[in-house]
Structure 1
Amino acid sequence: MQHTVVMTGASRGIGRIAAEHVLRRSPGVHLLVVVRGSQGARLAAELSEGEHTVSHVPADLGSLESVKSAAAEIRERLEHGDLPPLRGFVGNAGMQYTNALTEGPDGFESTFAINVLANHLFVRLLQDRFVTPARIVITASDTHLGDFKHNMGMVPGPAWKSPDVLARPGAFPKPDTAAAGRTAYSTSKLAAIYLVHEYARRLPAGIDAVAYNPGFVPGTGLARNAGPVARFAMRRILPLMALTPCATGRGAAGRYLADVVLGTTSAPSGSYVDRARAARSSEESYDPRRESELWDAAERFTAAYAA
């Protein structure tokens, strides 16, 4: 049966590889990629090679107004029959900044806006258009565990605060430093897991929500806002770690993501999938009070764009 899967973060890295796997392994998928600027047409054309069905909508995920416009276009195309029924949303796009002071057009700290609020707004604006069985997949990160085993000390662990603090620039000590930017990243990924737990509780039966952790994947575009030395290390040196158990190669990480999207990996709603299997996330990531508080805040932050 033909159906639509909406995907962010498909233009590069593990997202691009996952998109290719999804199209190759599920011929009935119409993949709709959400891409910033003018890249969408080229990406859709490249992914369409081999008679796959791919289209695109433009969006700047750092702008909730832009996310709203993209979701409105998707809804319109679904309602007019230009897209087959919606059965999947993949929130794979993510950003890590070199500080915790970058502010988006809506006044939110950009890491939080892109990694948390953009996904939430997409889910809420498309929720009533899903046809069951449907699956929402949000890319998380093992940086939320905050220990040396999972990130070799390169990324500080999350530092949870009230969502009203986390959503604004300057939430962490020395906010102009790379350490603060990395803390904002790991904290945003903890927030993503909290919201997946809330989606599992609150979304209608038949719409599953899963958090996917690719592990440490060197050589992706995540560090594109870092300095030249860090970018060089991520591109040229750290990819060698994929030959060890300490990291995941892009090919494997993309394939694992496709497995989660297609349901090949067994994972009930609310699961955290660590690469190829469902597992427990950090003890800190199971906190119903924080989850409910974050849900309420995300609803409040996006209310003006969800009307």
Structure 2
Amino acid sequence: MQHTIVMTGASRGIGRIAAEQILRRSPDVHLLVVARGSSGAHLAAELGAGGYAVSHVPADLGSLDSVRSAAAEIRERRERGDLPPLRGFVGNAGMQYTNALTEGPDGFESTFAINVLANHLFVRLLQDLFVAPARIVITASDTHFGDFKHNMGMVPGPAWTSPDVLARTGAFPRPGTAAGGRTAYSTSKLAAIYLVHEYARRLPAGIDAVAYNPGFVPGTGLARNAGPVSRFAMRRILPVMTLTPFATGRDAAGRYLADIVIGTTEAPTGSYVDRTRAARSSEESYDAQREGELWDAAERFTAAFAA
């Protein structure tokens, strides 16, 4: 049966590999990629080479108004019959800044806006379009563990506090430093897992929600806002770590993501998939009170854009 999967973060890194894998292995898929500006048309043309069904909608994920516009276009196309039924959403786009002071157009700290609120708004605006069985996959990170085993000391662990504080700039110690930006990143990935747990509780039966951890994947575009030394290390030095158990190659991480999206990897709703299998996330990530508080805050933050 023809069906649509909406995907963010398909233009580079593991998302690009995953998009190609999904199309090759699922001939009934219409892949709708969300990308900034004119890059979406170029991406759709590249991915669609060979006869695959690919289209795009433009969106700047740092702007909730732009996310709303993209979701409205998807809805209009579905209602016109231009898209087959919606059976998947892949929130793979992510950003890590060199500080925790970058503010988006809606007044939210940009890491939180892109990694948390953009996904939440897409899920909520498209929720009634999903046809079961459907799957929502949100890319998380093992940086949310906050220990040396999972991040080798490269990223500080999350520093959870009230979502009203986390959503604004300056939420962490030394917010103007790279450490502040990395703390914002790990905390946003913990938030993503909290929301996946809430989706599992709240979405209708047959719409599964899964968090995916690709592990440490050097050579992606995640650090594109970092300084030149860090970017050089991510591109040229750290990829050697994929020869060890401490890192995942980009191609492998992309295949693993595709496996989850198309259902090759078994993952019950609410689960955390560590590369190829469902596993437990950090003990901190199982906190029903925080999950409920974050849900309420995310609903409040996005209410003006969901009306």
TM-score tier (shorter): over 0.9
Instruction: State the AA in 2 paired with 1:163.
Output: P
What do you get for the CA RMSD once the two structures are aligned? 0.3
Matches within 5 A, 1:100-119: 100-119=100-119
Q: What is the distance in 1 between the residues matched to 2:37 and 2:147?
A: 37
Separation of aligned partners in 1, 2:151 and 2:247: 9
Alignment of 1:158-177 (within 5 A): 158-177=158-177
CA separation in 2, counterparts of 1:200 and 1:37? 32
Where does residue 286 of structure 1 map in the other structure? 286
Match for residue 99 of structure 2?
A: 99
Q: Which amino acid aligns with 1:112?
A: F
Report the AA paired with residue 265 of structure 1: T
Matched residues in 2 for 1:140 and 1:196: separation?
10
- C-alpha separation between the residues in 1 aligned to 2:164 and 2:141? 22
Identity %: 88
- C-alpha distance in 1 between matches for 2:32 and 2:173: 39
| Cα deviation code 1:72-91 (max 9, x no counterpart) | 00000001100000000000
Q: How many residues align?
A: 307
Report the counterpart of residue 237 of structure 2 in structure 1.
237
Q: TM-score, normalised by structure 1?
A: 1.00
1:101-136 Cα offsets, whole Å, 9 max, x none, are 000000000000000000000000000000110000
**CA distance in 1: counterparts of 2:125 and 2:182, whole angstroms:** 29
The alpha carbon displacement at 1:198 in A equals: 0.1
CA deviations over 1:238-261 (Å, ceiling 9, x no partner): 001011100000000000000000
Name the TM-score, length of structure 2 as normaliser. Answer: 1.00
Match of 2:305 in 1: 305
SS of structure 1 residue aligned to 2:231: helix
SS in 2 for 1:4: strand
Show CA shifts across 1:135-164 (max 9, x none).
000000000000111111000000001000
1:85-234 alignment runs, 5 A limit: 85-234=85-234
Task: Letter of the 1:201 partner, please give it.
Answer: R
| CA distance in 2: counterparts of 1:146 and 1:263, whole angstroms | 29
Distance between the aligned counterparts of 1:47 and 1:236, measured in 2? 26
| Unmatched segments (≥5 aa) in structure 2 | none
User: Which residue of the partner structure matches residue 58 of structure 1?
Assistant: 58
Structure 1: which 5+ residue stretches go unaligned? Answer: none
Distance (whole Å) between structure 2 residues aligned to residue 13 and residue 68 of structure 1: 25
User: Which amino acid letter does the alignment assign opposite residue 166 of structure 2?
Assistant: L
Give a deviation string over 1:35-77, Cα, whole Å, max 9, x none. Answer: 0111011100000011100000000000000000000000000
